[in-house]
Amino acid sequence: DGDGSMHAKYTRTTELRRVEDNDIYKLSSFLNINDSWRKLMARIPKGLDAKASSAPGALNYDFVVRNSGLKYTAQHISQIDDYAKAEPHKSISQIMIDEWKTSGQQNERPTVGVLLQLLVQADLFSAANFVAQDFLNEPKPERPADGPAAHLSLDLSEDMDID
Amino acid sequence: GTRSRSGRERDTSILIRNLPVPDRQRLCQHLDSLDVWLQLAQFVKLHPEDVEKIRHKMRLGFSPSDEFLTVWGGQYDHSAYNLFALFQKMSLHHAMRLIMDHVDEKYHKYIPKSMP
């Protein structure tokens, strides 16, 4: 591919349905935090060319959504809630990923690279850092400079007694 | 600037979601007694729906500070160092002391001395 690291388990073009169940299980534990799966599901674009959008920065999110709209509605999201009640042994995020990973035409099937970019787009940094490091052996994605995901540093400028 | 991005030393502190439960409980009791969760949430610019969710959990009897840590620490993967920095910016000095063991010793000098 040229876009995957040497010792990575997956590449950015690996389809999510090819990711091992145990890894999907770990991913879903991050997506269970603070209902992150809902935030992800609500942002998935419709009719995405997944393979072409997999490389770093290749998913032009605003452009795609403006042109094609969103894949899932609030009604789809509440359907996942209903499925979860019927399958109490599965986590709700796992059910959401199971639905998404097999959906659409062949070129729409979500890849690890698309997932990562959507996680960053949705400010889901626990899940994004996990996918970058554990799936792709890549550094953690860049954080925005502002908002709840921004890095906070100590103010070191104040006059302090240095020992 | 209050949200300095300078001084980006390598952050080796543990993640907020990995804080030991007793330390987290002690911290949340303290923050709840000060009733500062909303100020914390507003300072880090949590989205309105997350603020509402915390308020809802609080009405159900959950600790709002603990819910704040779940959202800001859990979803955004922030560290004990980031939390320590947030407490400094909010002048929550005792809260800084409660988590000081989880940040590098070289930062302990930024905790103001406690009053007698």
pLDDT of residue B114: 75
CA distance B3 to chain A (A): 6
pLDDT category of residue A89 using cuts at 50, 70 and 90: confident
Q: What is the mean pLDDT of residues B73-83?
A: 97
**ipTM greater than cut 0.85:** yes
Name the least confident of A58-62, A159-163, B84-88.
A159-163
Which one, of B107, B36, B103, lies nearest residue B65 by Cα? B36
pLDDT of residue A105: 84
Question: Nearest 5°: phi and psi at A88?
Answer: -65, -15
Per-residue HEC secondary structure of A33-89 comes to HHHHHHHHHCCCECCCCCCCCCCCCCCCHHHHHHHHCECCCHHHHHHHHHHHHHCCC
pLDDT of residue A139: 95
**pLDDT of residue B3 exceeding 50:** no
The answer to whether the CB atoms of B76 and A123 lie below 8 A apart is yes
Q: Give the pair of three-digit tokens for residue A38.
A: 């809902």
Question: Which residue in B has a C-alpha nearest to residue A150's C-alpha?
Answer: B44
What percent of chain B is predicted at pLDDT more than 70? Answer: 91
The answer to whether the CB atoms of A125 and B75 lie below 8 A apart is yes
Per-residue pLDDT tens for B19-47? 999 999 999 999 999 999 999 999 999 99
Q: What is the mean pLDDT of residues A106-130?
A: 96
The answer to whether the CB atoms of A34 and B75 lie below 8 A apart is yes
d(CA B23, CA B107): 19
- Interface residue B12 vs chain A (CB under 8 A): no
Q: What is the mean pLDDT of residues B98-111?
A: 96
**pLDDT of residue B65 exceeding 50:** yes
The answer to whether the CB atoms of A148 and B4 lie below 8 A apart is no
d(CA A116, CA A13): 11
**pLDDT of residue A97 exceeding 70:** yes
